[in-house]
Amino acid sequence: MRYISVFPIVVILSILFGSAFTGLVIAPGVASDVVRSPSVGLVAYSPTEAKGRKIYAREGCVYCHSQQVRNVKADENLVAAFGVSKAGDYFYDLPHFLGTSRQGPDLSNEGRVWRRDIGQPARDYLIGHFINPRQYNPNSIMPAFDYLSTQELSDLTDYIQSLGAWKDNVKEPLKVATAGL
Amino acid sequence: MTSIQDRNNVVTATLPRPNVEPLPIDLPDSAAQIWLYSGIFWMSITMLIGVVEAIKLFYPEFLQGVPALAYGRLRPVHINIGLFGFMSMGYLGATFYMVPRLTQTPLFSERLGSLTAWFWNFNLLGGCMGIMMGFSKGKEYTEIPFPFDMTIGLLVIAIAGNLFSTITLRQERRVYVSLWYILLAIIPFPIYYTLGNASKFSGIEDAIINWFYSHNLFGIWLTTLGLATLYYMVPKQVNKPLYSHIVSFVGFWTLAAFYPWNGGHHVIWGPVPMWVMTASVTASIAMFIPTCATMINFGGTAWGTWEIMKRDIGYRFSLLAYVCYVGASLWGTVLAVMSLNAMLHFTNMTIAHVHLGFLGFGVPGLIAFTYFYLERSLKLKYSQNLAEWHFWLTMLGIIGYVVSMGISGWMEGTAWEAGGSPQSTMLDRYPYHVARAVSGLIVMAGQFLFVWNVYKTVNYPINLPATSPDALEQSSVTS
């Protein structure tokens, strides 16, 4: 075994890596159309929402807040309230904020909790919570974003209120959409 | 017949113009030294940041009000220094040490190796400053902003070229298993690194590519360099040949076949095509085979070496790295089982698993190599007392970290399945977050002793007597 030379090693390694590359990078993009088409009713981000999204990325919100509801027992309450996330829901997301950890709650449907139609009280809550989370929940470990400017806080609030908000305007009932999964 | 991994003589580079005084960066092993010491430096920094973050997770007012030190900005800095500073640089140091010895050939360009190391340091510093100033790209493991991210890719091409040229020009025709792992590390890196960092895909495609890239970074960049180091070091430390070359062959090729497929296991049950989940879960479970091969091989090599373990602290760290590698890999396989993933994904169990890998395998492996390097190559005597303290503090800290986060993760998983939420478990998590910060502090204290020990050993050298283990090793080993 020790006499194997370098060239065959390089060739076999390239084949092995290439097959994984084909399977995980090329195949999902080419073979499945769910990845490349938006969900019905999905709305693109407005300019202020897009700015808020940049602030969300800059401040690293994604490290503690996921943006996906899975069809599993641990997410039972979220599924019951909001339905399961689908690939097309993320069509306009660049970069993606699916997340890997939930130190805090999932935010994929936050715009349906603090809805735009509540008006000023919802915005006041979200902005006040960004500035001092412990004023609302003494046990919260969320950092206080008191250093953001008024404009930045407003943009971030716009973005948070856009999360999942489009789903409320989709005519077909959610139950039908999730039944297939 | 002596086996190749037993030869340890330093090969002196033949300089292109012998009448010219060589620069310090042209001396043999200068590249290895710069990489290794930089790795140790970044290891201390990433631990310091880690402790600050751990404190912020139970006392959020800690250092509040400074944007650059906000939790969400420090965490990517912690991760990127851990990946590209501590692990990459430290283990590249080991690689630059191993390659000339395993090939019995001077490094293709010692100067290129040294310059890439310095450039890498400044580039990483720039990248981390960029993240702290708010230029993060916002996706996990790709946060380092342009142009620093692309510079890392270019530097790896220069490093890989340097190492690959040395391997091609080798005097020793046989290729030891460590070199296989190094080849796997350096060949595909530029491809997935560029793909992961430069990609302009959106939505789910972006997520899939992000995980393909980042899992390859752990699997076929850091793990392979780490295992290459262990495969080189352990037979020398125990002064006997590797248990089985057949088993290491099986371990290597199964690892190379399955690890690149693991990426999708970060989005099991997520909104991704079924194919990505199925392929990644299968590959993650198949990782059981290379893990077992490594377990058998190192277990067999280490069997009956209790005397050496008592005496040689560096070897003890190798064993700690080996045990944690096997533990973290088997744990990863278990976490990829779909039913368990449904419960434990998003919890602190992931944090525990990752830290068993980095803190348990990465840190002790690099420490073992450093002690090995001081003792066997520089022939210097380090403080046995400090090293003893270092070992036990590190061990205690790792156990404290992994156990506290593991329990917290299990508790969160069961609470969520019972209808709870991250907010409802906030108070229950508190004691574990404190325990984690204390464990981190213990590990960090141990590493500061280590850094002090290395500094003293190198700057105030005490040479080892002629009966050093190296003399023993060179006389008696056969394969």
Distance from CA of A22 to the nearest CA of B (A): 10
Q: Collapse the DSSP code of B423 into the 3-class scheme (helix H, G, I; strand E, B; otherwise coil) and give the result.
A: coil
Taking CB atoms and an 8 Å cutoff, what residues of chain A touch B7? none
Q: What ipTM describes this predicted complex?
A: 0.90
Write down the pLDDT at residue B353.
Answer: 95
Write down the pLDDT at residue B373.
Answer: 94
The Cα–Cα gap between A34 and B276 comes to 13
CATH 1.20.120 domain position(s) in chain B:
24-174
Taking CB atoms and an 8 Å cutoff, what residues of chain B touch A56? 138
Multiple choice CATH, B24-174, 1.20.120, 3.30.70, 3.30.420, 3.40.50: 1.20.120
What is the maximum span of chain B, computed from C-alpha positions, in angstroms? 77
Domain parsing of chain A, residue ranges: 1-31, 40-179
Class of domain A40-179: mainly alpha
Multiple choice CATH, B218-465, 3.20.20.70, 3.40.50.300, 2.40.30.260, 1.20.210.10: 1.20.210.10
Given a cut of 50, whether residue A103 has pLDDT beyond it is yes
B101: which 2 tokens? Answer: 């010895």
Residue B95 sits at the vertex; the CA angle it makes with B94 and B99, to the nearest 5 degrees, is 125
Are B89 and B120 contacting, i.e. CB atoms less than 8 angstroms apart? Answer: yes
Residues in chain A: 181
Given a cut of 70, whether residue B102 has pLDDT beyond it is yes
Q: Which member of A21, A91, A104 has the closest CB to residue B202?
A: A91
B11: which 2 tokens? Answer: 């090969």
Over residues A24-47, the pLDDT tens digits come to: 888 887 776 777 788 888 999 999
CATH 1.20.210.10 domain position(s) in chain B:
218-465
ω into B100 cis (within 30 of 0): no
Write down the pLDDT at residue A173.
Answer: 54
Which B residues 333-392 touch A at CB under 8 Å? 342-343, 345-348, 350-351
* Mean pLDDT, rounded, for B456-462: 90
With a CB cutoff of 8 Å and minimum separation 6, the contacts of A134 are: A140, A144, B60
Asked if A14 reaches chain B (Cβ–Cβ under 8 Å), the answer is yes
Q: Which member of B3, B203, B246 has the closest CB to residue A91?
A: B203
Q: Which member of A21, A59, A85 has the closest CB to residue B73?
A: A59
ω into B147 cis (within 30 of 0): yes
Over residues B29-67, the pLDDT tens digits come to: 899 999 999 999 999 999 999 999 999 999 999 998 899
